[in-house]
Chain A
Amino acid sequence: MKQKIILLVLLLLTLITLFVTPMIGIKWIIPDIFSNSELNQMESTIFWKVRLPRVSIAFFAGASLALSGMVFQAVFRNTLATPFTLGVASGASLGAASYIWFGFAFQIFGIAGQSIFAFSGALLSIGLVYGITRMKRNMSTTTMLLTGVAISFFFSSTILFMQYLSDFTSSVRILRWLMGGLEIVGFDTVLKIIPFTMLGSVVIYYFSRELNLMVAGQEFSISRGVNTNATVKILFLITSMLVGSIVATCGPIGFIGMMAPHICRLILGTDHRYLIPASLLFGGMFLVICDTLARTLIAPVEIPVGIITAFLGGPFFLWLLVRNQFENGY
């Protein structure tokens, strides 16, 4: 009961955030449907074509990253498992960067080639980390983090190497994209992201009971009837898809996948039937707020949103690491 009320409050806060933040900027813009004064042509374009799409993409990106982080944390039974610490984001980055580097431009069933490359990269990373962590049998935090860090470094260096080898134009394109950002125009990109986020949320929610059991341990969940091998594979496919689609569009944006699910778990407990919608809403809202700060703090100059999330996330990560020394991992 308590959890349902918290979820309702969270939904309300999210709606308010989504309603208010598009109006904030260098200039307040209140869309004409809510006020008597009519907007001029430019104001209307800024509101409908720039700010609103940007807020929407921030919401879906935040939601997707938070959901993937939540899944990783449950499967690895560790709060430090996130798209970034596991090297999944850098895998996706490598995929997307190599798409730019090779100079490809194609679509498969309307899905951008860059997303497909990012997805493959993400899947490769998570496969490696999970495989190596499993091989060591004890699923220790150290093995997991070290593998993730090693893969991250390796992939980042590969991206640097690609940049070094490529001509000026591709190099700048890769660099600009690596900085991460939500500067999009129009709703086309948003519409391409939405199906992934929706599919991802539904599939992850379908596995909410499995996630609840897997948090208690692998042997435990097998003995309760969970087909853990199949479940883990499907979940990794889905999270790679989520991370891949976001990284391909917005570049790597760090720490959302760690903070959002963890804060939700502190408030709501470990039942994924509540944790999933909560992480989705909170992650989305959180990135929207971060992005609003990013474009208003020292306006008219914009700070890349990744810097804001890193400023908040870095200390949070250290706090978690210290805290984990004394308590169990999840």
Chain B
Amino acid sequence: MAIPRIQDLDDPTFDPYVSDEVMFGSMPDMHERVAEVRAQCPVHKGSWFTSMGLMPTPEEQVWPEVYRVMTYDGVQQVLNNPEIFSNRAFEPTLGSSFGPHSLSVLDNPEHLKYRKIFQKAFLPNVVGRWGDVYVQPVIDELFGAFREAGKADLVPQFSQLYPFRVIYRMLGMPDEDLAVFQKLMLTQIFFSFAPDKAKEASEKLGTYFTALIEERLENPGEDLVSALATAEVDGERLPVAYVVDFLRQLFNAGGDTTYRATANLLVALLRDGGELYRRVRDDRSLLPRAVEEVIRWESPVSSTNRLVLRDTEIEGVKIPANSVVNASLASADRDETKYACPEKFDIDREQRPKHMGFGQGPHVCIGQHLARVEITRAMETLMDEFPDLRLDPDEDEPVIVGAMLRSPRHVHVRFD
């Protein structure tokens, strides 16, 4: 049985990268605004999205009472008490994009049962091996395309591409479908401003993955789809619907976030004359610290949601049942009571308490170990191949923008 070709959107000119600003915002000063709000009160009524000038999200229509939790302690309480704060909050949003069996919308005991199966493929001892097999070849290919040019824009030419390609190769999918595939994966989460496009993308991905899983069940290989399609839970094969929903989620959870974190790290290291770039280049033991610090400093996902199952209280503020809380990871990671000078990108900082960039609790990021491998490999290779990398003085300085997923649109560099 042959793998089917993936179907493009009915409007093939739709560009998810242009639409990114509408969905996730383009403001450069999000942290300044957040700091002001956090200083007023640890918990505020009203949603993160509308407070940031973004479009209201579908869950606000289902559960209109929304609270923003801004402090580290408050966010920690939300994420670590799943018996009160449910992931059902994502049913109208990520649940419609990825599907009702996506890990993002499941609560225990179902979440625990299936998460362990999927996590098995992303444990540190597994993803460490993927660095050589999948990550490094993709990085080498992309760098090879501009190595002789003397200059590049590292967002469209590198960071925006590589994590998607890594996952794509892990799944053993055909190269000729990559561009359409990446477009669909990004479009499927535009549930707020382009719901028809999001639905179309989600359905086309679902059709494709279902056929792909059937093909891999007939001809299992060494790829991740084969591993998941043949995995068992409690002596039964993992249901196809759960695998499809996981695969739909995988590219956004593992691609969108990693590309932004990598681009943010490039900005942090290269700005101010590139002193930090040279310091890390010359002492690679600092690189893991730089990776953790950029995930604290610019948390890839600014806020996450939970549905409140019973009346409760956060930081002294009463929160009624059937309201939604937006737990702001970005605000928690800049909480002045936890981190000195939180606005400073400081690779010498002790990460105590642990940053919230990957979340906490039962839904802590399943791909965090792969993200670390990818970002570390990317920066190691960059520093080896382009030791004199510097921002291009003839181009605008890169600016990190956005209010939900943040990253620079461009990082123009020069090298000899």
Check if A and B associate.
no
Q: Which residues of A contact B (CB under 8 A)?
A: none
Q: Which residues of B contact A (CB under 8 A)?
A: none
